[in-house]
Amino acid sequence: MCLGIPGQIVEITDAPRQMAVAEVSGVRREVSLAPVAERPLTELLGEWVLIHVGFAMAVIDADEAAQTLIALHDLGEAQEALEAMAEGERAFADPASDGGDSA
């Protein structure tokens, strides 16, 4: 499974190489627009794209980007909750992990 993260194209940095800057949740990173360069690159400014390993894989609309960002945020919170539960179960299963020594 590959995971695409929504990012908004904010700057074309190297048109001949089809490179641009995308903003992903407040962080800017350079991405390749080659997979989505079916039109002039300047027309992609302001567009939302799904980014995977440094490549803009698909142009998406703003609603889809927002829904994906919410889902990714929720998945992150769920993962944190699962990790906290697992940590609690490990501590419960191993009484020696309470910091005291049994000698």
Q: Tell me, letter by letter, the H, E, C secondary structure of 48-66.
A: EEEEECCEEEEEECHHHHH
| Chain CA centroid to CA 56, Å | 12
Is 72 or 36 the better-scoring residue by pLDDT?
Answer: 36
- C-beta neighbour count of 22 within 10 angstroms: 24
* Predicted confidence band of residue 94 (pLDDT cuts 50, 70, 90): low
Burial of 98 from C-beta contacts in 10 A (0-12 / 13-18 / 19+): exposed
CA distances from 16 to 20, 65, 69, 81, 94 (A): 11, 27, 30, 45, 59
Domain coordinates of the chain in residue numbers? Answer: 5-91
Tokens of 18: 């089809």
pLDDT over 90 percentage in the chain:
57
The confidence score (pLDDT) of residue 56 equals 97
CATH numeric code, 5-91: 2.30.30.140
Query: For residue range 14-61, what is the model confidence (pLDDT) as tens digits?
Result: 999 999 999 988 899 999 999 999 999 999 999 999 999 999 999 999
Closest among 75, 27, 19 to 6, alpha carbons compared: 27
Residues in the chain: 103
Is 69 or 3 the better-scoring residue by pLDDT?
Answer: 69
Q: Record the pTM.
A: 0.73
